[in-house]
Structure 1
Amino acid sequence: MKRNVLIIGAGGVAQVVAHKCAQNNDVLGDIHIASRTLSKCEAILESVREKGAMKQEGVLAAHQVDAMDSAAVAALIRETGAEIVINVGSAFVNMTVLDACLETGAAYIDTAIHEDPAKICETPPWYGNYEWKKRDLCTGKGVTAILGAGFDPGVVNAYARFAIDMMDEVKSIDIVDINAGSHGRYFATNFDPEINFREFTGTVYYWEDGQWKETSMFASGRDWDLPVVGTQRAYQSGHDEVHSLATNYPQADVRFWMGFGEHYINVFTVLKNLGLLSEQPVTTAEGLEVVPLKVVKAVLPDPSSLAPDYTGKTCIGDLVKGVKDGEEFEVFVYNVADHEAAYEEVGSQGISYTAGVPPVAAAMLVATGEWDAKTMRNVEELDPKPFFTLLDRLGLPTRMRIGGLDGEDRAWNA
């Protein structure tokens, strides 16, 4: 059994992770959180104490670390005695934190694919460019690495595996992510603006007819009639989970759809057309070198600041189609989360909540041994049922509709 958790990062998702780890410290042991800015870590721990989140008396400590410095992260792992590292920092630090885990033997869990700050939208499969190159090393050292264990990627990968296990043959996986909430600001992103915009300025890759295909952002859209949130417009987008699901289920078409309103699209388009979403430095008339994307990030609201005013709900799920007993078969597996309920519980909005709860569930499964794989795994390569059981208890219940979006609604284990 593994114990003691080190959380890397101090944003909105890290706040959820800290609260949920504290609520389950009887399983997870000591809770440590670290980032470049110590005050942010301390503020998160203060919110944990204010909510009385600790299930039992235990260690709750903040640390300062540069997560781009693998040796420093390894030293902190040793200092804290952490056997599980939950990386919810910038996607730029994945590989240095993973290397620190490989050096120390700690289990590694992240919520998004690694990104190189100097590159945008590399050729697929994205995991093959970075994380998967360390897979044999994880196996050789017996180090558990659970990749993409947020909601998407993460829970949606488990939804796909669960649905496919019900079938004799899978034909398509369509992941739909809708945020029907409102934060009341003129314009803001729900997580790190730099990562958010990088995700939408590159080529949209999807897997269809056994090959990678390309489109552009907002070029392919459709209306989805979903539980609770109703009919919502979503656009085909490039996303992490498409790259592992396409590798593990190459016979299936794999697409990702994200909901956007007209206002977001208009502002995004203007920013992009003006060159303000570029990651390439420019020089101002005063001789200052700046990166336009970082300037935009600096002037937009901090995503964690949106939480107090957020209302509405999210609906994220997988529509999976295939064949069962010789007949066409489809199922929609999904979750609905509430922004206000998330803020009441952990002080974060629903997007952070859906991203932060799953890695804690994964950490608990690593701690108890059920997901302690001693190698590198994407979520769909692990048994989804104990994951769903924990998610139900931790605040993200799984629902399904056999027969697709018009099917009868029921719990996943009904």
Structure 2
Amino acid sequence: MTHTPKNVLIVGAGGVAQVVAHKCVQHADKFGGIHLASRTLDKCQAIIATLAQKNLPSDAITAHSVDALDVDALAELIRKIDAKIVINVGSSFINMSVMDACIATGAAYLDTAIHEDPNKVCETPPWYANHEWRKKDAFKAANTTAILGIGFDPGVVNAYARLGVDEFFDVGSVTDIDIIDINAGSHGQYFATNFNPEINFREFTGVVYSWQNSAWQTNQMFEIKRTDDLPEVGVQHSYLTGHDELHSLSKFLDVPNIRFWMGFGDHYINVFTVLKNLGLLSEKPVTLDDGREVVPLKLVKAVLPDPSSLAPNYTGKTCIGNKMRGKKDGKPSEIFVYNVVDHKAAHEEVGSQGISYTAGVPAVAAAILIADGVWDVGIMVNVEELDPKPLINLMNTMGLTTRIQDDNGDRLLEFS
């Protein structure tokens, strides 16, 4: 396949953006110019400075200052640098404005998380229908590609789900997909979140939605627990949690039960519960005695460690994957498709911890697949609507290897 390098714009300047920047430079032959933009130019320049620490050329990326909520300003930047691919790894509050700028300019759009309305928590499912999917017709009319949720979860786990349904079970026989996200690492802090605290806490303060018996079921956070013995991280507890990927997988895969489970330690649960019960995780403003307004959640965010600061001291591993059940050759069958990342190894390679690594690498892999024309579909899609094999093969060469446990043992998953 003939490859024409395409200029890429990375929007955001947090831990995931740092991974994306490093991976884009590592694969610079797949791109033309590489650009990094955020409201704060200093944050972009700080990420660029980390390239030299990893023996990468610091002049490979150009930094820009832009307010991503200003559609006209962002579109102007996209045109100025002739970006053909935009990787949105900023706050999920900006998804819709970045989308509008891509529609206006014809640049392909990628993000790693579902859009959030700052004034709403846990909207009516499916969440994509409240925001992103409303832009489907506009992307189609513009013949412009948008790939939603191409981090790890959502993202790679969506590809795992598609792969399982298509390749490892009898047609129409899959009954259960359990997505399990375990971070068995330690950052050494009394309490911290692995990415933006404001986004992190919002996931856990509302209703827990899961897809069961082909319908939405509601539960409370930390109400339902499971225990698994997982590769490299051992016996781990996780809790039924609402999450992005359920809201597209329930639409695009004919599977009656799709659940998301996230691991939490007792200490995290205790601190979270106190903060929530005190009202400190509310997104609604409160009035102080002097008449000033403050949003409790933003205050908590301000006093917690910056997630990007956790990376140097992070130890341990993550294990994220899909346990899937159905029938193979008419007999009950179960598989586990998964990835393991070491926090220390991620930091040594790109200067970020493993959570950021798992989110950033797939976005760059998808950008390469768009640049190569493999995933440049000219419409808006979720990951499970695409062929997962090119993604898995490419990630295997980029630091995120996929393995499978089934009746044939535990092995690397790759496709010829």
Q: Which amino acid aligns with 2:77?
A: L
Q: Which residue of 2 aligns with 1:40?
A: 43
Aligned to 2:334: 330
Match of 2:379 in 1: 375
Q: Which residue of 1 aligns with 2:357?
A: 353
What amino acid maps onto 2:126 in structure 1? P
Structure 2 matches for 1:167-316, cutoff 5 A?
167=169, 168=171, 169-316=173-320
Give the direction of change, closer, same or farther, for the CA distance of 1:244–1:2 in structure 2 (3 Å limit).
farther
Whether 1:163 and 2:164 are equivalent positions in the alignment is: yes
Question: Is residue 22 of structure 2 the alignment partner of residue 19 of structure 1?
Answer: yes
Instruction: Find out whether 1:53 has 2:63 as its counterpart.
Output: no
Name 2:135's counterpart in structure 1.
134
Is this contact kept in 2: 1:2–1:366, CA < 8 A? no
CA distance in 2: counterparts of 1:147 and 1:118, whole angstroms: 22
How many residue pairs match? The answer is: 409
SS in 1 for 2:6: coil
TM (norm. structure 2) is 0.97
CA distance in 2: counterparts of 1:2 and 1:218, whole angstroms: 47
Is 1:6 the counterpart of 2:6? The answer is no
In structure 2, distance between residues paired with 1:300 and 1:158 = 33
| Offset, 1:197 | 0.3
Cα distance in 2, alignment partners of residues 315 and 59 from structure 1: 32
Asked if the contact 2:226–2:237 (Cα under 8 Å) also holds between the matched residues in 1, the reply is yes
Contact 2:5 2:29 in 1 (8 A): no
Query: d(CA) in 1 for partners of 2:61 and 2:215?
Result: 48
In the alignment, structure 1 residue 63 sits paired with structure 2 residue 67? no
| Aligned structure 1 segments of 4 or more residues deviating by more than 6 angstroms | none
CA-CA distance at 1:323 after TM superposition: 1.7
Matching residue's letter, 1:248 = F
- For 2:160 and 2:339, locate their aligned partners in 1 and report how far apart those are by CA, in whole Å: 10
Q: Residue 124 of structure 1 corresponds to which residue in structure 2? A: 125
Q: Distance in 1 between matches of 2:405 and 2:298?
A: 42
Deviations 1:85-105 (A, max 9, x none): 000000000000000000000
Cα offsets for 1:226-252 (capped at 9, x unmatched): 000000000000000011000111433
Whether the 8 Å contact between 1:205 and 1:213 is mirrored in structure 2 is: yes
**8 Å Cα contact 1:77/1:104 also seen in 2:** yes
Distance in 2 separating the partners of 1:185 and 1:125: 35
1:2 is displaced (CA, Å) by: 5.8
Inter-partner Cα distance in structure 2 for 1:22 and 1:269? 41
TM-score under structure 1 length normalisation: 0.97
Q: Which residue of 1 aligns with 2:147?
A: 146
Amino acid across the alignment from 1:362:
A
Structure 1 residue 363 and structure 2 residue 367: aligned?
A: yes
Q: Deviations over 1:223-282 (max 9, x none)?
A: 111000000000000000011000111433100000000000000000000000001101
Alpha-carbon RMSD = 1.2
Determine helix, strand or coil for the equivalent of 1:239: coil
CA distance in 1, matches of 2:312, 2:290: 39
Letter in 2 for 1:294: K
Over residues 299-324 of structure 1, what are the superposed CA-to-partner deviations in whole Å (9 max), with x where a residue is unaligned?
00000000000000000000111122
**1:192-248 CA distances to partner (integer Å, 9 max, x unpaired)?**
000000010011001111111100100000111100000000000000001100011
* Counterpart code for 2:304: L
Identity among equivalent pairs (%): 64
8 Å Cα contact 1:29/1:58 also seen in 2: no
Tell me the distance in 1 between the aligned counterparts of 2:70 and 2:406. Answer: 47
Q: CA deviation at 1:389?
A: 1.1
Find the residue that maps to 1:149 and give its secondary structure. Answer: coil
Q: Is the 8 A contact 2:375 2:386 kept in 1?
A: yes
1:115 match:
116
Offset at residue 139 of structure 1 (A): 1.2
Opposite residue 362 of structure 2, the aligned amino acid is P
**Alpha-carbon offset, residue 58 of structure 1:** 7.0
SS at match of 1:103: helix
Deviation at 1:19, TM superposition (A): 0.2
What is the distance in 2 between the residues matched to 1:53 and 1:242? 38
Any stretches of 5+ residues in structure 1 without a counterpart? none
| Comparing 293-302 and 318-327, the one that deviates more | 318-327
In the alignment, structure 2 segments of 5+ residues that lack a partner are none
1:29 equivalent in structure 2: 32
The answer on whether the counterparts of 1:25 and 1:58 sit within 8 Å (CA) in structure 2 is no
Once residues 312 and 53 of structure 2 are traced to their aligned partners in structure 1, the CA distance between those partners, rounded to angstroms, is 16
